[in-house]
Structure 1
Amino acid sequence: MDDYGVTGATVEVRVLVDARVEAVWSWITDVAGYGAWSPECVYGAWLDGVDGPAAGAWFEARNEFADGFKTEVQCRVTAAEEPVRFGWDVFGGEDEPFAHWEYELAAQGEQTLIRQWFTHGPGDSGMRHGVLADPARAEAVKQSRLDQLGRNMELTIAAMVRSRSEPTDA
């Protein structure tokens, strides 16, 4: 079955932030924080008594989309190389992941270059449903979602930085 290029579809962002790589590592591995930072992810929590990143660890996430659609997913950490690499596969109840997310951090003095990417997996997803529902517009549907994901990555990183640099009430 033709999936119109959904499997393997990728989007990547690179953002230079004014923070040391060790600080950025603590942000990107704070799965509970994504609920406050992300335009779509409204909740994240480690599972099975885990309290931090380790290859093979699981966390859950809940997403809410502008059209009212909601999802709950389980994520398995695939990379946890402190302080430079954090990645996970996303599962929606199937054996195959429908997405892979990853961060790569590069120290640049007192700054950090964040490279984040999303790659669509072979599993079932909203993007796949969208292109299959409208094959004549498959490329536009796919590209629209990739563009949205890229914007959301940039917004999430900006929110992380803001939340960590804002003064707290004492």
Structure 2
Amino acid sequence: MNEHGVTGASTEVQVVLRVPVEQVWAGITAVDRYGEWSPECYYGAWLDDDRLAAGARFEARNRFADGFETYVTCVVTVADELTRFGWDVYGDEDEPLAHWEYDLRPQGSQTLVHQTFTHGPGDSGLRAGVRNDPTQAAHVIQGRLDQLAGNMRKTLTAMEAALLPG
């Protein structure tokens, strides 16, 4: 099947947050707070006690502008304290829908955050959108990647505001 470039489609943002790396680490690993900051993810909860280790799981619920909702399970793939945190997203199948990752670089009392999203081989809303209109696949994919990059910036900005003292 021609997937029109969905698998591997990715986007990234780099943002300097005005908070130290320890606070940013606490924020990006607090999946139960993502709903406070994200335009799409309205709920997150750890499923395992050992949260910050490869293999730990959390659930997330997302709501999109059109009202569509998803319930997914995320599996931590990397948790290098104060430097990298990432996870794969799974729906109802064994292949991940996506991979999210944060890379943190301290800059004095600030932190450079490099966040990436890469679409996986699993079935997803983006893949369904491309199947529904394969002649517009490139436009559909780029539109979603642009939306994700914007949401990543909004999430990081909201996280920064919540973590700033006073």
CA contact (8 A) 2:19 2:164 kept: no
Stretches of 4+ aligned residues off by more than 4 angstroms: none
Cα-Cα RMSD: 1.0
CA contact (8 A) 1:46 1:58 kept: yes
Deviations 1:10-52 (A, max 9, x none): 000000111111111000000001011000000000003x263
Equivalent residue runs for 1:37-52 within 5 Å: 37-48=37-48, 50=49, 52=51
CA contact under 8 A between 1:87 and 1:103: conserved in structure 2? yes
Q: Where in structure 2 are the equivalents of 1:113-128 lying within 5 Å?
A: 113-128=112-127
TM-score, length basis structure 1: 0.95
Structure 1 gaps, min length 5: none
CA–CA distance in 1 between the matches of 2:29 and 2:119?
Answer: 21
Tell me the CA shift for residue 80 of structure 1: 0.2
Number of aligned residue pairs: give it. 166
* TM-score normalised per structure 2: 0.97
Q: Are 2:139 and 1:140 equivalent residues in the alignment?
A: yes
Q: Could you say which residue in structure 2 is the equivalent of 1:5?
A: 5
Question: Could you tell me how far apart the structure 2 residues matched to 1:52 and 1:136 are?
Answer: 42
State the partner residue of 1:34: 34
- AA at the equivalent of 2:82: P
Distance of 2:37 and 2:52 partners within structure 1: 18
Which position in structure 2 is the counterpart of 1:88?
87
Identity of aligned residues (%): 61
Task: Give the whole-Å Cα distance in 1 for the aligned partners of 2:17 and 2:88.
Answer: 25
Alpha-carbon shift at residue 166 of structure 1 (Å): 5.9
Cα shift at 1:163: 1.1
Is the partner of 1:131 in helix, strand or coil? helix
